Chain A
């Protein structure tokens, strides 16, 4: 059973479109995250949710809107996609803020 699963694995779309990435964890964790990995492989936090509440918003453009319908899910919706949004997006979860974080396999987003 996959602990943290993201869909889709690949997303190819055109500039200006709106798209969503879904994330689900079956670990019973309270905290979920979105990270972005750029073309130079640098990984950076975007958002953190704890029990469906937004804890961290790391100066991400408001075209990015996370939504947590319950503590097992954290989806990422992106409006008006731009070329610079091309990256790999990772979802992660942890029991609390100091416990280890477990990552999904990533979603590779390519903007044409």
Chain B
């Protein structure tokens, strides 16, 4: 089955810093999502981005489908950005395969 690798596994930032999270897929996907799992455990949908670039406030994401990777950019990070960021892909068999996540801690 498809393998999903995320990097870095852990990231510590000072408030206000920018960061880039990466997600690599071992095979082509036709659904790619980014999630933020907040400290309360909720999985928040950030982006549905099978290809191209999208922006939502301080967050943006880019997926290069032909090269099987996606990037999540966080600008001017805030303490509320802390948590675990997951990417997940679907090869058309109705199941999302999740990466192992990037654990982000933003300190004041």
Contact = CB atoms under 8 A, between A and B. Distances in A.
Contact of B45 (A41, A90, A103, A108): A103
Nearest to A48: B94
Contacts of B93: 56, 97
B43 interface: yes
Interface string A28-51: 000101010000011111001010
Given A43-B86, A88-B41, A101 B98 contact: no
Contacts of A41: 37, 84, 100-101
A58 B31 CA distance: 19
B96 interface: yes
Contacts of A44: 98
Contacts of B30: 98
B96 A101 contact: yes
A100 interface: yes
B5 to A, nearest CB: 13
Contacts of B84: 41
Contact of A100 (B33, B98, B101): B33
Interface residues of A, number: 26
A42 B95 contact: no
A50 B31 CA distance: 17
A103 B38 CA distance: 13
Contacts of A33: 94-96
Interface of A: 31, 33, 35, 41-45, 48, 50, 55-56, 58, 88, 90, 92, 97-103, 105-106, 108
15 contacts: A31-B94, A33-B94, A33-B96, A41-B84, A41-B100, A43-B86, A43-B98, A45-B96, A97-B31, A97-B93, A98-B92, A100-B31, A101-B31, A103-B43, A105-B41
